C-alpha cells in the first residue's frame, strides 16, 4: 500500500491562479507593453512638430506648396508603414504567446498524466451467509482510470445477475457491494484500473460461512522450525491452505503425491509466492525421484518410486515478502514384500565418500528388523553409469554399514546399491546412490592458472615445474584412515616431487614381531593414495609401508607406520533408556524415550510396536529417527499397544529397550471450550438462579462441573461465586444486594483442567419476580437440522409463577425480521418440537414461551441464529438385526472428531436404562441394542454426536417396524442349518458307496443320524459313519452295495437350536446305474490285484507320422509275461516292451490297409492275467488316418513345379503320404479329378499332380489340400506368367530330348563283351541296331577307324543287322573293336574285346576294356529329377555273350 496521503494535485506541480501562467509569458507581455508606449510617445512628438511647421509655412508662397504636399505624402507613407509594422508585431506576439501557452498546457498535462496508482487497497472479508459485503479501494491517475471488477478472473457485470451486485465510483473511491451472500460467493475478487498509461490491480478474498456456532479451538501441535530462505522477491500476499495432506502411508515401489490447495490473496499471475518442499528440514529438489509442481492454486510433490529413503516429515512452505506459511505431514514408507519369505528390508541412504582414482567408501543405513531374523551382513553392488550391469563387490557379507570399494577405473562414473542378508535370504536392493566419478581430487589442486593479456589464461601442472624426475621419492604420511575387524584403510601423501610419469603404489605389511614383509597388492597396483587392506587377523597389530613405482623404477619404502590393530573403532550402541507412551489422537500415540548413553556417530533410533498379548512386533518407523520423541501413527482405536526402541549406528543395532507400559489408543484429553448463553431463570431479590448452555467442545472427556464468577456493574474485578464445583448447568447465587446489577461468567472443567471462561453475561438486576405467569424456558438446543425442518429442545422454567407450567409455545422469525411466527397454535406438553415448513437457506432465531393457568409467560432468551440447510454427507439412523439376532439402531458419522462421543436418547431424553439398552461404538459407527424388545420400546430415538457442530439424527420406531425386526430376529435366533451341498453319493474303490452331506459351520456338538427306508443305520463294520468337523462333512460308507439297498436315504442333523435334513431317492434306473457302477468298481479292484493295464490300448501318431499303439501297465514283476497279437496271431513289436517303466508300444512305421485288424496285448503271471484289445478297423482306422493327415499336413512343404517329358508336375513333400488320406487338388478353386489330362498320384514321401500336354488353359493357381477331419492344410502355387512360360519351355525341351533318345541310333543286342578265338579261324561279330531314320554303322579298332578289306568285311542288312567278318584271324587281330551306330538324333559306340590264341595254348581269360556309353544326342540335357526323388537305376548299354 502506498504511504502517500497528499492529494495528487498538490504534489510536484505549481499552484495556478487566473493570471498568466508563468514568468516567461509575463516577460514577453511586459516587453511588448514598453515597446508600444515608446512608439506612441514618438508618434505624439512627430505630430506636434508637424503642426508647428505647418503654421510656420502657411505664409510661404505657392512655390513651396508642392514640396509641402510631398512631405505630407511621405509622412503618410511612413505612418502607414508604422501601422503595418505594429499589426505585424501584434500578430507575431500573439502567435508567440499562443505557442508558449500550448507548450505550458502540454507540460502541465504531461505532469498530471500518470498510470493508475492504488492508494487504499481492497481488504479480505469473512461474513455469514445471507449478509451483505462491500469492498472499497481508492485509485488515482490521469486520465481518470476505468475500473472493472472480476470474480475468480471472470468479469462482473450488474446486468448478469440483477440485484446481486452494485458498482460505484466517486472521487476516486470505487466500491463493489454484494447483497445477500451465499457460499457460492466465496472467491477472490479483483479490481483492475486502466487508463492510456497503464493499469493496476488489487485483490481480496471473500469467505462466506454458514453459521455453525463457535469454532473448535485449535489444539497445540508440534511445528518444526525451518530456516527462512534468503531471497524473497514477491509482494505481500496472504496464503491460506484449503486442502492439505496429512499423515500418509506408502509402500516401496509405489507412486504417491502430496498435495495442498492454497488460496492466494491477491491471486496475480505475475506475482506468485514461491513453493518449497522440505523433508526433515532438507530442501527437496527436482529429480527423477521427485516431481514438483505449483500452479492453478495447488502445490504438489510426486514421489515417482517410493523408497524408505523418502520417509520423513514433509513440509510445504509458501514464501512471500510478508513471511512464510507452511504445512507439514509425515510420510511413512513400508518395506515392499520380500523376495524371500523372512528376508530383511532393503538398506537406505546409500552415500559415497572419499572418492579417488580407483577407490571409494560406500556407507548406508541398516534396515529395521522387528519380526525378521537379525541382519548378518551386506552385499555392495556397483554399476558403471550407462551400463546396466551390476557387479557384486564383496564375496562375503560385510558386517558394518561401511565398505571401501576398490578396483574402479579412473575417469569412469559409478553408482552403488546395497542388499541386506539374514539367515532367511537376501533383501531387495536399496535405492541407487548418486553417481560418483573415479578421479583424484588432488589433481585439481596441482593445476595453476597464469593470466595473460586479453583475458586469456594458461593452465599448467605442478608436474611441469618439478623438472625431470626419474625415480620417484618415497610416499609420506602413511596412516590408518579407517579401521575395522576385517580391514584397514590406509592413506598417504604422494611423493614430492612426483615427476611427470604416472605413479602406482604397492603396499607391504608385517605383523608386529614377525620381521618379514609381505606385499599386499602384488597383482593389482594401486593408483590412488588410498587402499583397503583385508584379511587381517582380528586383535593383531600390523606395520605398513608404501612404495611408489613409475616407468623409471621403484622408490624407497615410506616410513613404517606405528602398529595398527584391526579392530572396530565404534562399538554397538547401548540400548535407549526409559520409554514412555502417551495418548495423542484416535489413531496415534506419542512415544518418548531416554537417549542412548553414548551417541557418538549414532545413525538414529528404530521404534517397534506390538498389540498386547500378540507377541508379534511390527515397525513403527522404517527409517532411523534422530530425535527421542516420535508420533506413531496408523494404530487401531481402542487397541492396547506396547512399544520398544533400539539405537542404530554403522556397527549394528543395540539391544531392545525395556517395553513401555501398555497404552490404549484414544484421543488425548484437552480442556473444554467455554460455555455460552448465560440466562437469568429466577430472582427473589436476595438471590438469582442462572442457567447456561453446554460448551460446544468437551475436550475428549465428560465435563465434570463448572465454576462461576460475578461482578457488579462498572466493577473491574471478578469474584469467585462457588468454591465447590457445580455439577449441573444451573446454579443459585445467594447473598446479593437487592436492586444492584450483576454480570456473570462461567468456566467448564474436565479431567484435563479448566477451559476458557465464557463471555460476560448481560447485566441482571437483582429484583424479586412476582408475576403470576411462568418464567422463561432455558437451554434451547437444536438438532436434526435439515433442508426445511429442525428439532428444538428446551428445559422447564425454574420460576413457574402462581401455577404449574401446562405447556409451551414455540416462536421463530428470520434474523432481520421483526414479527414472530408461532409454530404451534396449541401449547405442547413436551419439551421438544419438530419445526417444519422452513425455507432452505434462510437463517432463523427461536424463542420459547411457557404457559400456566395465569397465561403466557415471558419469552426465553433468543436462540443463536440457525441456518436451515442440511449438512452434506450427514446420514440417518438405520435399523437392523445382527448375526446373533439382536435388534439395533445404527448411526454412522464420517465427520467425527477425536474427542467426539455418541449420545443416544429416547423421546429426546438420555437413555440411562442399562437393562433395556446396550450402546456400542466402533470408530465412526455407534449402535444401540434392544435387550428384550417389546411394545414399550416404541417411540422416537435420537442420537447426537458431540464435538461435531451439532450432527444428529432421529428414528421413529413404530409398531410395524418393531414387528418386522422381531420377526427377523426370531428367524436368526432359530435358524435352519445351511447346507453347502445336499445328500450325495460317490463310488469308492472295491465298489464301496459313500453317502455324504456338507455344512461348513457345524459345531463339535452337532448331532446326526442316517435313516434308510425309515430304519436308522448305526455305525458298524458294514456301515462306517463319521463326522469331520474341520470340513463340516457327515458321511456314511457302505462296504457292499447290493440289490437289497434300494430305497430312500435320509440324513438328519441338529446343531443347537438349528436343524436340517436332506434325502436321496435311489429307486429304479437310478439305483440300477449306481449298482452297476459299484459292481464294476469292485471287479476293477480285483483285477488290479494282479498285473493289469493301467491304461488300455490307445493309439498315437508320432511326429514322424508313425502309428503307435500304446498301453500302460502296472503291478508288474520279473515273471510277468507281456505279448502282442494281431488277429490272434503272436507278433513281435519293433520296440521291446518296457515293463519297468510301465509303457509298451507297438510301432507301425507306415500304416496301410493291410495293417488293419485286431491288436491285442496280454499280461500274465502267477497272480492273474489281463487283456487289452484294440480293433484297428472301420472308424478307428479312419481316425488314425486323420491323425496321420494332421502330422503330414503340418509338415507339408510348399508346392514345387517339376517338368517331365509328359507335362508339368506339382510335388508336395511331407513326412508320409498315403492314398487313404483325404487330399484334394484345385485349379482356380475348382476341384481336379484324376484323368488322362490331369493325373494324380503320390509316393510315401510326396503327393503329385501332373498336367499332361499343358496349354494356355492350364494357367492359374493350383492348391493342394489335406484334411484331418477338423483342419485343412493348404499349399498353393501360381502357374501363370513367367512361371508358366519357364515351365512350358522346360516341358518342350524335355519332350524333345525324350523323342531324340527314343529315335537315336543304338545297338539293341547280339554283340558280346569278349570274344576268344584261335588263329586261322574266321570271326564274325554280328549285332542288331536300331534308329529312325536308319543309322549309319562304322567299325573301329583300338579307337581308330577300321579300314575294310578282304580281311575285314563289314555288312548291314535290312538296315538293322550289322556284322564284321575277320577272315583267317591272327594274333595281330587281337584288340578292342568298336561299332559306332549314329543317325541325326545321335548314336552310341559299343566295344568288344577280341583275343586270338594259338593252337595248343590255354584259352586266355580276357576282361572287357570298358562299358560302352551312348553318344549324346544333339539336344539339351534332360531335366533333373525332382527333389527328394530317388534316382533311377542306370541301364547298361551292353550285351554279354559267350
CB 470 within 8 A of CB 499: yes
CB 1353 within 8 A of CB 1365: yes
CB 350 within 8 A of CB 357: no
CA atoms within 13 A on the CB side of 1110: 12
The Cα–Cα gap between 630 and 589 comes to 8
Tell me what pLDDT residue 652 has.
86
3-state secondary structure of 722: coil
Cis, bond preceding 497 (omega within 30 deg of 0): yes
Tell me what pLDDT residue 1 has.
39
3-state secondary structure of 24: helix
The Cα–Cα gap between 1022 and 1038 comes to 6
Per-residue pLDDT reduced to its tens digit, 155-182: 888 777 777 888 988 878 899 999 888 8
3-state secondary structure of 315: strand
How far lies 682's CA from each of 457, 745, 770, 779, in Å? 99, 17, 10, 14
Q: The C-alpha cell of 1162 is what?
A: 496280454
3-state secondary structure of 1033: strand
If residue 102 lies in a helix (H) or strand (E), which one and from where to where?
helix 65-112
Going by C-alpha positions, the residue among 803, 841, 836 that lies closest to residue 821 is 836
Going by C-alpha positions, the residue among 482, 445, 527 that lies closest to residue 361 is 482
CB 283 within 8 A of CB 292: no
The full DSSP string for 953-1012 is EEEEE-HHHHHHHHHHHHHHHSPBPP-SEEEEEEE-GGG-EEEEEE-TT--TT-EEEEEE
Bridge partners, 912 (sequence order):
none
Q: The C-alpha cell of 1116 is what?
A: 508288474
**What secondary structure letter does DSSP report for 1134?**
S
Q: The C-alpha cell of 757 is what?
A: 471462561
3-state secondary structure of 1135: coil
The Cα–Cα gap between 950 and 944 comes to 7
Long-range contact pairs involving 1089-1092 (C-beta distance under 8 Å, separation at least 24): 1089/1115, 1089/1167, 1089/1168, 1090/1115, 1090/1165, 1090/1167, 1090/1168, 1090/1169, 1090/1170, 1091/1115, 1091/1116, 1091/1117, 1091/1120, 1091/1163, 1091/1164, 1091/1165, 1091/1167, 1091/1168, 1091/1169, 1091/1170, 1092/1163, 1092/1170
The Cα–Cα gap between 406 and 424 comes to 29
State how far Cα 455 lies from the chain centre. 54
CB 521 within 8 A of CB 506: yes
How far lies 1319's CA from each of 1316, 1369, 1378, 1395, 1401, in Å? 10, 5, 21, 10, 11
Tell me what pLDDT residue 468 has.
66
Cα dihedral across residues 1304, 1309, 1313, 1316: positive or negative: negative
Low-confidence ranges of the chain (pLDDT < 50): 1-29, 32, 57-60, 213-234, 1410-1442
The Cα–Cα gap between 279 and 276 comes to 10
Burial of 1167 (0-12, 13-18, 19+ CB in 10 A): middle
* The three-state (H, E, C) secondary structure of 606-642, written as one string: EEEEEECCCCCEEECCCCCECCCEEEECCCCCCCEEE
The Cα–Cα gap between 574 and 596 comes to 6
Cα dihedral across residues 79, 80, 84, 85: positive or negative: negative
Long-range contact pairs involving 387-391 (C-beta distance under 8 Å, separation at least 24): 390/417
Going by C-alpha positions, the residue among 130, 178, 171, 124 that lies closest to residue 147 is 171
User: In 82-144, at which residue ranges do the beta strands (DSSP E only) sit?
Assistant: 114-120, 125-128, 133-142
End-to-end CA distance of the chain: 141
CB 347 within 8 A of CB 634: no
Per-residue pLDDT reduced to its tens digit, 905-931: 988 888 888 888 999 988 888 999 998
CB 507 within 8 A of CB 406: no
Going by C-alpha positions, the residue among 1048, 1104, 1042 that lies closest to residue 1079 is 1042
Q: The C-alpha cell of 871 is what?
A: 449438512
Nearest-Å Rg of the Cα atoms of the chain is: 60
**The pairing of beta strand 125-128 with beta strand 198-209:** parallel
The b-or-e profile of 39-78 (16+ CB within 10 A means b, else e) is: eeeeeeeeeeeeeeeeeeeeeeeeeeeeeeeeeeeeeeee
Going by C-alpha positions, the residue among 309, 376, 312 that lies closest to residue 346 is 309
CB 1414 within 8 A of CB 1336: no
pTM of the model: 0.46
Going by C-alpha positions, the residue among 1249, 1193, 1199, 1180 that lies closest to residue 1221 is 1193
The b-or-e profile of 144-153 (16+ CB within 10 A means b, else e) is: ebebbbbbee
Cα dihedral across residues 846, 851, 854, 855: positive or negative: positive
Bridge partners, 1363 (sequence order):
1326, 1355
Region for residue 51 given its phi and psi (left: phi exceeds 0; alpha: psi -120 to 50; beta: otherwise): alpha
3-state secondary structure of 311: coil
Long-range contact pairs involving 656-661 (C-beta distance under 8 Å, separation at least 24): 656/575, 656/608, 657/575, 657/576, 657/577, 657/579, 657/593, 658/578, 658/579, 659/579, 660/579, 660/580, 660/581, 660/591, 661/580, 661/581
The Cα–Cα gap between 1215 and 1244 comes to 8
Torsion of CA 280, 284, 288, 293, to 10 degrees: 120
User: In 639-777, at which residue ranges do the beta strands (DSSP E only) sit?
Assistant: 640-649, 663-664, 676-683, 688-693, 705-712, 719-720, 730-733, 741-750, 753-757, 764-765
Tell me what pLDDT residue 159 has.
72
Q: Quote the crossing angle between the two packed helices 23-57 and 65-112, to the nearest 10°.
A: 170
CB 1264 within 8 A of CB 1227: no
Amino acid at each position: 500500500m502506498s504511504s502517500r496521503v497528499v492529494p495528487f494535485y498538490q504534489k510536484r506541480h505549481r499552484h495556478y491562479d487566473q493570471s498568466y501562467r508563468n514568468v516567461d509569458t509575463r516577460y514577453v507581455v511586459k516587453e511588448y507593453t514598453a515597446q508600444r508606449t515608446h512608439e506612441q510617445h514618438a508618434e505624439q512628438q512627430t505630430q506636434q512638430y508637424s503642426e508647428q511647421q505647418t503654421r510656420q509655412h502657411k505664409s510661404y508662397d505657392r512655390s513651396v506648396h508642392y514640396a509641402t504636399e510631398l512631405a505630407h505624402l511621405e509622412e503618410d507613407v511612413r505612418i502607414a508603414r508604422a501601422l503595418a509594422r505594429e499589426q505585424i508585431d501584434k500578430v507575431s506576439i500573439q502567435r508567440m504567446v499562443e505557442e508558449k501557452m500550448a507548450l505550458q498546457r502540454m507540460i502541465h498535462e504531461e505532469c498530471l498524466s500518470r498510470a493508475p496508482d492504488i492508494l487504499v487497497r481492497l481488504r479480505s472479508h469473512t461474513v455469514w451467509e445471507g449478509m451483505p459485503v462491500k469492498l472499497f479501494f481508492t485509485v488515482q491517475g490521469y486520465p481518470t482510470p476505468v475500473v472493472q471488477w472480476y470474480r475468480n478472473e471472470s468479469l462482473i457485470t450488474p446486468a448478469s445477475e440483477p440485484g446481486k451486485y452494485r458498482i460505484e465510483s466517486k472521487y476516486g473511491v470505487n466500491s463493489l457491494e454484494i447483497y445477500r451472500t451465499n457460499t457460492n460467493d466465496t472467491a477472490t475478487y479483483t479490481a483492475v484500473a486502466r487508463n492510456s498509461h497503464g493499469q493496476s490491480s488489487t485483490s481480496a478474498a471473500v469467505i462466506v460461512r454458514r453459521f455453525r456456532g463457535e469454532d473448535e479451538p485449535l489444539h497445540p501441535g508440534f511445528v518444526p522450525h525451518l530456516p527462512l530462505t534468503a531471497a524473497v522477491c514477491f509482494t505481500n500476499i496472504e496464503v491460506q491452505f484449503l486442502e492439505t495432506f496429512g499423515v500418509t502411508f506408502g509402500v516401496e515401489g509405489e507412486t504417491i503425491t502430496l498435495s495442498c490447495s492454497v488460496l492466494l490473496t491477491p491471486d496475480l499471475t505475475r506475482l506468485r509466492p514461491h513453493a518449497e518442499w522440505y523433508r526433515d528440514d532438507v530442501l527437496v529438489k527436482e529429480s527423477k525421484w521427485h516431481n514438483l509442481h505449483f500452479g492453478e492454486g495447488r502445490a504438489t510433490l510426486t514421489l515417482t518410486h517410493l523408497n524408505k529413503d523418502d520417509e520423513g516429515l514433509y513440509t510445504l512452505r509458501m514464501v512471500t515478502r510478508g513471511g512464510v506459511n507452511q504445512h507439514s505431514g509425515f510420510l511413512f514408507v513400508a518395506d515392499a514384500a520380500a523376495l524371500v519369505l523372512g528376508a530383511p528390508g532393503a538398506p537406505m541412504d546409500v552415500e559415497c565418500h572419499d572418492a579417488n582414482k580407483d577407490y571409494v567408501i560406500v556407507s548406508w543405513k541398516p534396515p529395521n528388523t522387528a519380526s525378521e531374523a537379525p541382519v548378518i551382513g551386506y552385499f555392495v553392488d556397483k554399476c558403471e553409469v550407462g551400463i546396466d550391469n551390476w557387479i557384486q563387490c564383496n564375496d562375503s557379507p560385510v558386517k558394518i554399514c561401511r565398505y571401501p570399494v576398490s578396483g574402479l577405473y579412473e575417469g569412469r562414473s559409478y553408482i552403488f546399491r546395497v542388499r541386506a542378508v539374514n539367515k532367511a535370504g537376501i533383501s531387495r536392493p536399496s535405492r541407487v546412490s548418486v553417481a560418483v566419478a573415479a578421479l583424484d581430487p588432488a589433481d585439481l589442486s596441482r593445476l595453476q592458472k597464469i593470466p595473460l593479456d586479453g583475458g586469456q589464461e594458461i593452465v599448467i601442472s605442478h608436474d611441469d615445474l618439478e623438472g625431470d624426475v626419474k625415480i620417484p621419492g618415497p610416499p609420506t604420511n602413511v596412516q590408518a584412515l579407517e579401521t575395522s575387524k576385517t580391514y584397514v584403510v590406509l592413506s598417504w601423501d604422494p611423493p614430492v616431487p612426483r615427476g611427470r610419469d604416472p605413479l602406482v603404489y604397492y603396499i607391504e605389511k608385517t605383523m608386529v614381531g614377525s620381521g618379514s614383509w609381505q606385499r599386499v597388492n602384488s597383482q593389482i597396483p594401486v593408483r590412488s593414495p588410498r587402499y583397503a587392506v583385508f584379511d587381517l587377523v582380528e586383535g593383531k597389530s600390523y606395520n605398513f609401508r608404501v612404495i611408489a613405482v613409475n616407468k623409471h623404477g621403484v622408490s624407497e619404502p615410506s616410513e613404517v607406520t606405528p602398529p595398527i590393530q584391526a579392530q572396530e573403532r565404534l562399538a554397538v550402541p547401548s540400548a535407549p533408556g526409559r520409554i514412555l507412551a502417551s495418548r495423542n489422537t484416535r489413531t496415534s500415540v506419542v512415544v518418548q524415550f531416554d537417549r542412548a548413553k553414548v551417541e557418538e556417530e549414532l545413525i538414529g533410533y528404530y521404534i517397534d510396536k506390538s498389540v498386547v498379548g500378540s507377541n508379534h512386533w511390527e515397525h513403527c518407523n522404517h527409517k532411523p529417527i534422530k530425535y527421542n520423541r516420535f508420533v506413531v501413527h496408523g494404530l487401531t482405536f481402542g487397541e492396547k499397544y506396547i512399544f520398544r526402541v533400539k539405537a542404530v549406528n554403522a556397527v549394528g543395532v543395540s539391544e531392545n529397550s525395556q517395553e513401555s507400559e501398555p497404552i490404549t489408543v484414544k484421543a488425548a484429553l484437552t480442556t473444554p471450550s467455554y460455555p455460552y448463553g448465560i440466562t437469568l431463570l429466577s430472582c427473589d431479590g436476595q438471590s438469582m438462579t442462572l442457567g447456561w448452555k453446554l460448551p460446544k467442545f468437551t475436550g475428549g472427556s465428560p465435563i465434570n462441573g463448572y465454576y462461576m464468577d460475578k461482578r457488579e456493574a462498572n466493577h473491574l474485578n471478578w469474584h469467585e461465586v462457588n468454591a465447590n464445583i457445580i455439577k449441573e448447568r444451573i446454579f443459585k447465587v445467594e447473598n446479593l444486594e437487592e436492586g444492584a446489577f450483576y454480570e456473570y461468567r462461567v468456566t467448564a472443567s474436565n479431567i484435563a483442567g479448566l477451559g476458557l471462561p465464557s463471555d460476560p453475561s448481560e447485566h441482571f438486576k437483582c429484583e424479586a419476580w412476582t408475576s403470576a405467569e411462568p418464567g422463561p424456558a432455558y437451554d434451547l438446543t437444536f438438532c436434526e437440522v435439515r433442508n426445511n425442518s429442525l428439532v428444538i429442545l428446551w428445559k422447564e422454567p425454574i420460576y413457574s409463577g402462581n401455577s404449574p407450567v401446562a405447556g409451551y409455545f414455540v416462536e421463530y422469525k428470520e434474523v432481520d425480521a421483526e414479527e414472530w411466527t408461532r409454530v404451534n397454535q396449541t401449547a405442547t406438553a413436551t419439551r421438544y418440537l419438530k419445526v417444519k415448513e422452513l425455507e432452505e437457506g434462510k437463517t432463523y432465531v427461536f424463542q420459547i414461551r411457557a404457559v400456566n393457568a395465569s397465561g403466557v409467560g415471558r419469552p426465553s432468551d433468543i436462540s443463536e441464529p440457525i441456518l436451515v440447510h442440511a449438512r452434506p454427507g450427514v446420514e440417518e439412523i438405520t435399523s437392523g438385526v445382527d448375526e446373533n439376532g439382536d435388534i439395533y439402531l445404527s448411526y454412522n458419522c464420517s465427520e467425527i472428531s477425536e474427542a467426539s462421543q455418541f449420545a443416544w436418547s429416547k423421546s429426546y431424553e438420555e437413555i440411562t436404562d442399562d437393562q433395556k439398552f446396550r450402546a456400542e461404538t466402533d470408530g465412526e459407527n455407534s449402535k444401540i441394542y434392544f435387550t428384550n424388545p417389546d411394545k414399550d420400546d416404541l417411540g422416537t430415538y435420537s442420537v447426537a454426536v458431540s464435538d461435531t457442530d451439532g450432527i444428529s439424527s432421529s428414528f421413529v420406531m413404530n409398531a410395524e417396524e418393531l414387528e418386522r425386526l422381531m420377526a427377523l430376529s426370531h428367524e436368526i435366533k432359530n435358524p435352519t442349518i445351511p447346507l453347502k451341498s445336499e445328500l450325495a453319493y460317490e463310488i469308492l474303490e472295491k465298489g464301496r458307496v459313500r453317502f455324504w452331506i456338507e455344512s461348513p459351520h457345524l459345531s463339535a456338538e452337532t448331532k446326526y443320524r442316517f435313516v434308510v427306508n425309515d430304519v436308522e443305520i448305526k455305525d458298524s463294520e458294514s456301515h462306517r459313519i463319521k463326522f469331520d468337523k474341520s470340513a463340516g462333512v457327515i458321511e456314511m460308507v457302505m462296504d457292499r452295495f447290493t440289490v437289497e439297498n434300494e430305497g430312500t436315504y435320509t440324513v438328519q442333523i441338529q446343531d443347537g437350536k438349528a436343524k436340517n435334513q436332506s434325502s436321496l431317492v435311489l429307486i429304479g434306473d437310478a439305483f440300477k446305474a449306481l449298482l452297476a457302477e459299484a459292481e464294476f468298481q469292485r471287479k476293477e479292484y480285483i483285477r488290479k490285484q494282479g498285473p493289469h493295464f493301467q491304461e488300455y490300448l490307445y493309439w498315437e501318431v508320432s511326429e514322424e507320422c508313425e502309428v503307435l499303439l500304446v498301453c500302460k501297465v502296472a503291478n508288474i514283476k520279473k515273471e510277468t509275461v507281456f505279448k502282442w497279437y494281431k488277429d490272434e496271431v503272436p507278433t513281435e513289436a519293433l520296440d521291446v516292451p518296457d515293463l519297468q517303466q510301465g509303457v509298451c508300444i507297438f510301432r507301425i512305421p507306415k500304416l496301410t490297409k493291410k495293417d488293419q485288424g485286431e491288436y491285442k496285448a496280454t499280461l500274465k503271471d502267477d497272480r492273474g492275467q489281463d487283456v487289452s484289445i484294440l480293433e484297428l478297423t472301420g472308424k478307428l482306422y479312419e481316425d488314425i488316418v486323420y491323425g496321420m493327415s494332421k502330422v503330414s499336413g503340418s509338415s507339408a512343404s510348399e508346392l514345387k513345379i517339376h517338368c517331365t517329358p509328359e507335362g508339368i508336375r506339382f510335388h508336395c513333400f511331407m513326412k508320409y503320404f498315403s492314398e487313404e488320406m483325404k487330399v484334394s487338388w484345385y485349379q482356380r478353386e475348382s476341384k481336379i479329378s484324376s484323368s488322362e489330362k490331369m493325373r494324380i498320384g503320390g509316393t510315401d514321401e510326396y503327393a503329385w499332380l501332373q498336367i499332361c500336354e499343358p496349354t494356355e488353359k492350364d494357367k492359374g493357381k493350383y492348391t493342394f489340400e489335406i484334411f484331418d477331419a477338423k483342419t485343412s492344410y493348404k499349399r498353393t502355387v501360381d502357374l501363370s506368367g513367367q512361371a508358366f512360360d519357364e515351365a512350358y519351355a522346360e516341358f518342350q525341351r524335355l519332350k524333345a530330348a525324350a523323342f531324340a533318345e527314343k529315335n537315336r541310333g543304338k545297338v539293341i543286342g547280339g554283340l558280346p563283351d569278349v570274344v576268344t578265338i584261335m588263329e586261322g579261324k574266321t570271326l564274325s561279330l554280328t549285332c542288331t541296331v536300331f534308329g529312325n531314320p536308319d543309322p549309319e554303322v562304322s567299325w573301329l579298332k583300338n579307337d581308330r577307324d577300321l579300314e575294310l578289306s578282304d580281311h575285314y568285311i563289314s555288312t548291314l542288312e535290312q538296315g538293322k543287322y550289322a556284322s564284321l567278318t575277320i577272315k583267317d584271324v591272327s594274333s595281330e587281330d587281337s584288340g578292342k573293336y568298336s561299332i559306332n551306330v549314329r543317325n541325326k538324333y545321335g548314336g552310341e559306340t559299343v566295344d568288344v574285346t577280341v583275343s586270338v590264341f594259338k593252337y595248343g595254348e590255354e584259352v586266355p581269360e580276357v576282361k572287357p576294356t570298358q562299358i560302352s556309353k551312348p553318344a549324346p544326342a544333339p539336344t539339351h540335357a534332360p531335366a533333373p529329377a525332382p527333389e527328394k526323388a530317388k534316382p533311377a537305376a542306370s541301364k547298361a548299354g551292353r550285351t554279354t555273350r559267350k
